[in-house]
Structure 1
Amino acid sequence: MQWKVAILTASDKGSAGEREDTSAQVIRELVEEELGGEIVDYRIVPDEQDEITAALIEMVDYYQADLVLTTGGTGLGPRDVTPEATQRVIDREVPGIAEAMRMFSIQKTKRAMLSRGICGIRGRSLILNLPGSPKGVHESLVVIMDQLPHALGILTGTIGEHKR
């Protein structure tokens, strides 16, 4: 199955054209090569909760993305509001995915414990907050990539839940 994937970068400098969006490039490569996903939408917005929220809603409700991957805005800075924006649009959280990403990344750098990224469900779509750095994005996605097809299959109803 080819999953429909949207990428949202939250970055003041990126949205102003002052910084190249290398994290989204890492996401795109991993999604296309490892997940076999099709990018149905990609955009950069400033670190503004309302703009992030609106983009997430549109990516899920209009573009019908099965998976929305955000990058940026998950740290401790005053303008890091991606988790809050995500919280506003999801129906339910999926904490195990965010926990697994942090647990793996903390083995590489203790600063991973400062990531506030969350994961949740909106309708039949999975929204996942990734760090803002290309290295953080890669580490986070690599550890969960093999579980995404199963999670997306259950969410979209293409596979049933399995017993252990």
Structure 2
Amino acid sequence: MLPTQIPQPMTATTRIARKHPDELIVGLVSVSDRASSGAYQDLGLPALREWLGSALTSPWQAVDRLIPDEPERISEALIELVDGCGCDLVLTTGGTGPARRDVTPEATLAVGTKEMPGFGEQMRQISLRFVPTAILSRQVAVIRETADHAALIVNLPGQPKSIRETLEGLKDEDGAVLVPGIFAAIPYCIDLIGGPYAETRPEVIAAFRPKSARRAPQA
């Protein structure tokens, strides 16, 4: 459930300048007590960057944050990335289970203006194909809106393999889609909230748009 009072926009952080009108600005947030303290190497941020590099054909740039499992720190990072940096999309990884320190969903809901429950539902459907413990995951997604900007924020699992599976979905041996990945819906969602036109490699993930929302192919 979204909060009744949404944290106010921040203005201190310098907004990232687009190098192209269709450049997608992505915030990547890895939430981990141990990785943020240096106890072990973070794997979430490299996995997200690698996947985006393989999936997107349109211009993009990303800004990273590695933070501990503290709700205030997570919410602050999300607000900074959306309101300050001007990210169109924020992907988080980690902190979505039932353990006491798993608070990423709560911190995400705290900064959202609209909840997007379909993303979490689809991620659990995908992960249940592999492990029954997928029902313990609590990933959420929200839209955060300010007066002049909006962004989609999506919680992802913590493991690189699960990150790829939920973003791409499941395919058969011939590459036909069995269960759509959540990224298929993300470019059109970003269109609807006023963001840039993101395009993908169909062999990785085919972005779905209704015919009326598709651009004509470049000559």
TM-score normalised by L of structure 1? 0.92
Deviation at 1:90, TM superposition (A): 0.3
Does residue 133 of structure 2 align to residue 133 of structure 1? no
Which residue matches 1:110?
A: 132
Which structure has greater helix proportion? Answer: 1
Which residue matches 2:201?
A: none
> What is the 5 A alignment of 1:1-164?
1-36=22-57, 38-123=60-145, 124-142=150-168, 143-156=181-194, 162=210
* Bigger radius of gyration: 2
Runs of 4+ deviating beyond 2 Å: 35-40, 161-164
Partner Cα separation in structure 1 for residue 194 and residue 51 of structure 2:
21
Partner Cα separation in structure 1 for residue 118 and residue 56 of structure 2:
19
The alignment partner of 1:104 has SS state of helix
Unaligned runs of 5+ in 1: none
Count of aligned pairs between the two proteins: 163
* Matched-pair identity in %: 40
Unaligned runs of 5+ in 2: 1-21, 169-180, 198-208, 213-219
AA matched with 1:146: A
Q: Does the aligned pair in 2 maintain the 1:14–1:21 contact within 8 Å?
A: yes
1:32-51 deviation digits (Å, cap 9, x = unpaired): 22134633310111100000
Q: Does the aligned pair in 1 maintain the 2:32–2:69 contact within 8 Å?
A: yes
Q: Does the aligned pair in 1 maintain the 2:23–2:61 contact within 8 Å?
A: no
Deviation at 1:79, TM superposition (A): 0.3
Deviation at 1:113, TM superposition (A): 1.1
TM-score normalised by L of structure 2? 0.70
1:38-91 deviation digits (Å, cap 9, x = unpaired): 333101111000000100000000111110000000001100000000010000
Higher mean displacement: 80-89 or 145-154: 145-154
Partner Cα separation in structure 1 for residue 62 and residue 163 of structure 2:
19
- Aligned-residue CA RMSD in angstroms? 1.9
Partner Cα separation in structure 1 for residue 142 and residue 39 of structure 2:
30
Q: Does the aligned pair in 2 maintain the 1:28–1:39 contact within 8 Å?
A: no
